[in-house]
Amino acid sequence: MHLQQFIAAIFKERLEPGRAAAAVFLGIFIGIVPIYGFQLLAAIGLAITFKLNKPLVVASTFINNPLLQPLLVISSLETGFFLRHGSFHRFRLSDLTTADLKDNLFCWFLGSLLVGAIVGGISALITATAVRFYAPASRDLRNRSRFINRTFDQSALYDRNFVQWKMRLDRIFGMLAVEDLGSGTVIDLGCGYGMALCLTAFGESGRRLVGCDLNAHRIAVASKALSSLNAEVSVGDVRYFGLPSAGLILILDVLQYLPADEQLALLTRCCSALDPQGRLIFRAHDRERGLWSTITLGLDKFLFTCERTGTKPQTLSAPQYRSILENAGMQVETRRFRNRLPLAHILFIAKKPMAEVIS
């Protein structure tokens, strides 16, 4: 029963291959480095600092157990002797009580750093592979990715390759795969090729999908690829697009193209169009991530210049977006994340509460 609870605790926190690998590396490294009495405190503190899976970090420190500890101590000492003196030294228990104790302890600590890095690195690689292939969220994303790739299999080579690389590089699809995407009509404003619409239709091919985008070519590709689904995609401006009642509305790469007042108006209109328990999910640039925020804004400015939009990207602060949603009566959650490119974003998940029953 305790094992089941522990595994549930690991999967309750977000478990992505890269971050799971980082958690295992950190836990094993701390477990091998001889800072006895502080290992648990250091593991928890660093796990919180770097926002890693805390149960996994703590569990990994238990590599320093009575069964493995002698092997870790001896290998660390021998490695330390080699690094410090250029040769291995046959370890004897008397070494820990001789006049060279200070040097021996230093060699132990020095060697533990390298042994911890090597063992942690190997374990991290194994963990990343295992999570990628066996974690429930990873399996689900993999299945959804295959479904999307099959859907666009008959598209032109350029469009097909764009879809495949977008799926690999943009973490938004993995994040959507683990969210509750509700039920009912899905609207994607600025849908592009319709990949997000396709993702929401996995396992529910009859779900109504509605999307619009200003790019006529991408809409043409989406219309053909999604023809086997219950999809309605068209060329249109998100500011004037008629919104039917929906269980889910997505806005993934649009808001920065709109002035602040038009962003507010669009988000308010989306909240009104949602069914009770419906969700509005959108992402915006994170303005509070230092260098990553600068890189994100710089790339957007470059894209705006290439597209000749004649405007600059507009991004509100996270509190401003939250205020808009809460004023519309929504329950709001946020997910800060950094894309693989690397770009800093915030994912907003706003849920419309059930209508109150007046007796």
Helix (H/G/I), strand (E/B), else coil: 213? strand
Handedness of CA 92, 94, 96, 99 (dihedral sign): negative
pTM summary value: 0.70
Question: What is the reported pLDDT for 87?
Answer: 81
Q: Which of 154-163, 181-190, 245-254, 311-320 has the lowest mean pLDDT?
A: 311-320
Give backbone dihedrals phi and psi of 126, rounded to 5 degrees, phi first.
-65, -40
Give backbone dihedrals phi and psi of 87, rounded to 5 degrees, phi first.
-155, 155
Question: What is the reported pLDDT for 297?
Answer: 83
Q: How confident is the model at residue 343 (pLDDT cuts 50, 70, 90)?
A: confident
CA terminus-to-terminus distance, the chain: 45
Q: Name the H helices within the chain.
A: 2-12, 17-32, 39-49, 54-60, 69-85, 101-134, 136-151, 157-169, 172-177, 195-200, 216-225, 260-273, 291-307, 318-327
More confident residue, 313 or 310: 313
More confident residue, 33 or 37: 33
Which H helix or E strand runs over 346? strand 344-351
Where is mean pLDDT largest: 107-121, 293-307, 308-322?
Answer: 107-121
Sequence ranges of the chain with CATH classification 3.40.50.150: 139-351
| 13 pLDDT higher than 70 | no
- The CATH fold assigned to 139-351 is Rossmann fold (3.40.50)
- Here the tokens at position 249 are 């509305």
Summarize pLDDT for 82-127 with one digit per residue, the tens.
Answer: 998 888 876 665 655 665 778 888 888 999 999 999 999 999 999 9
Q: Residue for token digits 């507009």?
A: 314
Question: What is the reported pLDDT for 75?
Answer: 92
Q: Which of 137-146, 168-177, 235-244, 320-329 has the lowest mean pLDDT?
A: 137-146
| 163 pLDDT higher than 50 | yes
Query: How far is 167 from 187, CA to CA, in rounded Å?
Result: 20
- Over range 211-228, report the average pLDDT: 96
Query: How far is 238 from 254, CA to CA, in rounded Å?
Result: 8
- Over range 329-336, report the average pLDDT: 93
Q: Which of 84-93, 108-117, 182-191, 346-355 has the lowest mean pLDDT?
A: 84-93
Question: What is the reported pLDDT for 37?
Answer: 85
More confident residue, 107 or 248: 248
- Over range 206-222, report the average pLDDT: 96
| 340 pLDDT higher than 80 | no
Residue 187 · residue 246 · CB < 8 Å:
yes
The mean of the pLDDT values for the chain is 87
Question: What is the reported pLDDT for 210?
Answer: 97
Beta bridge partners of 155: none
Handedness of CA 336, 337, 338, 343 (dihedral sign): negative
Question: What is the reported pLDDT for 356?
Answer: 53
Q: Which of 178, 134, 1, 17 is nearest to 9 (CA)?
A: 1
- Over range 232-256, report the average pLDDT: 95
Question: What is the reported pLDDT for 173?
Answer: 92
More confident residue, 95 or 273: 273
Question: What is the reported pLDDT for 23?
Answer: 93
Question: What is the reported pLDDT for 359?
Answer: 42
- Over range 215-232, report the average pLDDT: 96
Question: What is the reported pLDDT for 129?
Answer: 86
Cα separations in angstroms, 349 against 137, 177, 241, 344 = 18, 13, 21, 17
Question: What is the reported pLDDT for 103?
Answer: 82
Q: How confident is the model at residue 357 (pLDDT cuts 50, 70, 90)?
A: very low
- Over range 199-217, report the average pLDDT: 94
Question: What is the reported pLDDT for 136?
Answer: 63
Q: Residue for token digits 């089941």?
A: 4
Burial of 34 (0-12, 13-18, 19+ CB in 10 A): middle
Q: How confident is the model at residue 10 (pLDDT cuts 50, 70, 90)?
A: very low
Give every CB contact of residue 278 below 8 A, 6+ residues apart in sequence. 182, 184, 246, 247, 248, 249, 351, 352
Q: How confident is the model at residue 217 (pLDDT cuts 50, 70, 90)?
A: very high
